[in-house]
Chains A and B, each alone.
Chain A
Amino acid sequence: GDSVTQMEGPVTLSEEAFLTINCTYTATGYPSLFWYVQYPGEGLQLLLKATKADDKGSNKGFEATYRKETTSFHLEKGSVQVSDSAVYFCALRGGMRFGAGTRLTVKP
């Protein structure tokens, strides 16, 4: 069946550092892929998505590219801010399967 494997956290970075959170998946066919973000005390919000191979999703300075050959969808941001501190979830097929989540803390 489908599965999502996400980089284990927590991740702690200094402000303006480069961020990568790894996500790989196993699935039949070519599922749509997603990153969601959860700020403290809130539900999940859609951060970005990609619906087919080689698509790049982007939002708020975050990017992820759908890599069919490596079955990956890694999340990147060039310069993180304190306000990016949150838990990030990789998911496929909208939300039918989620990764375990990665907690990011950005220190000033």
Chain B
Amino acid sequence: DVKVTQSSRYLVKRTGEKVFLECVQDMDHENMFWYRQDPGLGLRLIYFSYDVKMKEKGDIPEGYSVSREKKERFSLILESASTNQTSMYLCASSTEWEGRDGYTFGSGTRLTVV
């Protein structure tokens, strides 16, 4: 019954590496989202996408990029990983961006950059 799948639960990467975080949803949702979760800060929106090949910046896009080549897949890219990008990353999807039915979340990827 898994609906939003994030490819890795834990990742350890080195400073300067290019990192790809993958997210796949099987609900045919138009909208997909990437967040980072840090203690005391809640969830902060990095990027979202409302259609294939479309993307919008969220609140903290610096140091990140995204790719959405297919409707079901939304990738988050750290071009050159830094230690301040160590965090929990959550992917979500929804039928509409204002999400009157709420968002469906993946289980998260805990990324450590050393």
- CB-CB under 8 A from B45, the residues of chain A are 95-97
- CB-CB under 8 A from A6, the residues of chain B are 42
Partner of B100, one of A44, A45, A94, A99: A94
CB interface residues, B 43-83, toward A, < 8 Å:
43-45
Counting contact residues on chain B (CB < 8 A from A), the size range is 20 to 34
Contact A44 B105 (CB under 8 A): yes
Contact B102 A43 (CB under 8 A): no
- CB-CB under 8 A from A42, the residues of chain B are 107-108
Contact B99 A32 (CB under 8 A): yes
Closest A-chain residue to B102, C-beta based?
A46
A94→B29 CA distance, assembly (Å): 14
A71→B20 CA distance, assembly (Å): 39
Give the distance to chain A from B26, nearest Cβ to Cβ, in Å: 15
- Does A73 sit within 8 A of B, measured CB to CB? no
Contact A95 B43 (CB under 8 A): yes
Partner of B42, one of A46, A94, A100: A100
Contact B94 A94 (CB under 8 A): yes
A31→B102 CA distance, assembly (Å): 12
With A43-B106, A43-B108, A98-B43 as known contacts, state yes or no: A51 contacts B94, CB within 8 Å.
no
- CB-CB under 8 A from A107, the residues of chain B are none
CB interface residues, B 90-114, toward A, < 8 Å:
90, 92, 94, 96-108
- Does A66 sit within 8 A of B, measured CB to CB? no
- CB-CB under 8 A from A36, the residues of chain B are 102, 105
11 A-B pairs in the complex with CB atoms less than 8 angstroms apart: A32-B98, A32-B99, A32-B100, A34-B99, A43-B105, A43-B107, A49-B100, A93-B97, A94-B94, A95-B103, A101-B43
